[in-house]
A = this chain, B = another copy of it.
């Protein structure tokens, strides 16, 4: 992208990550961690192959991404965020918060990947049974999804891992998934709304952020960092 040539922190930031697709690449690396080229392609439907290669090169040059060679298979490469790249988390988090209301509109032709829910889910999920032991709930599949681990009050959201055996798996329609985790769709109504809950439904209930949706405010707007938020909400 052409630089704005403005001595301004916002403009200089946009000089680096304002290009089309760049922030979505950051989303993938922030969610999935270390990625192969083909992982990124799968997580970024619609991107042209040459563009992905070009962006990765630019991001490497500007110190946001690190490229490492994998031992096997041959010609395998891994892409990771540098500390500087990972520092974009705050930007992405605010963007997700701001964009949350846009998820209400259901453009049917939009593609969906279950692992895109990871970033919002990190702010949405709670352990409603802080005195119970470890359970894992999977959203999506092994190939595309995430494992939500609740353990004595803490919650962790990680990419689906084959070695993990979840006690419950939630799959189904994208809009219904969002509605479920934002509390707009009660768990009981899930089966009639394009959602399939396989396994221990109680485990699913345990991790769903239970707060009732205030009018005009999506739960996605809560701080994704947890803790005693003094946040005054969006201004």
Interface residues of A (CB under 8 A from B): 1, 4-16, 18, 20, 23-24, 27, 45-46, 86-100, 102-103, 107, 109-113, 116, 119-120, 174-175, 220, 225, 230-235
Contacts and interface: CB of A to CB of B under 8 A. Distances in A.
B18 A20 contact: yes
A204 B224 CA distance: 37
A206 to B, nearest CB: 24
Contacts of A93: 94
Contacts of A225: 230-232
A21 B90 CA distance: 21
A113 B4 CA distance: 13
A12 B46 CA distance: 14
B7 A103 contact: yes
Main secondary structure of the interface of A (DSSP, over half): helix
Quickly give the copy total for this chain: 2
A95 B102 contact: no
Contacts of A86: 235
Contact of A110 (B6, B116, B234): B6
Nearest to A177: B7
Contacts of A98: 9, 13, 87-88, 90-91
A11 B96 CA distance: 9
A121 to B, nearest CB: 11
15 contacts: A5-B107, A6-B46, A6-B113, A6-B116, A7-B111, A8-B27, A9-B96, A10-B27, A12-B102, A88-B98, A89-B235, A90-B234, A91-B95, A93-B94, A233-B235
Residue of A18, A119, A220, A230 ringed by the most chain B CB atoms within 10 A: A18
B5 A110 contact: yes
Given A7-B112, A99-B10, A91 B91 contact: yes
A176 to B, nearest CB: 12
A218 to B, nearest CB: 10
Given A6-B46, A7-B111, A116-B6, A12 B99 contact: yes
B102 A16 contact: yes
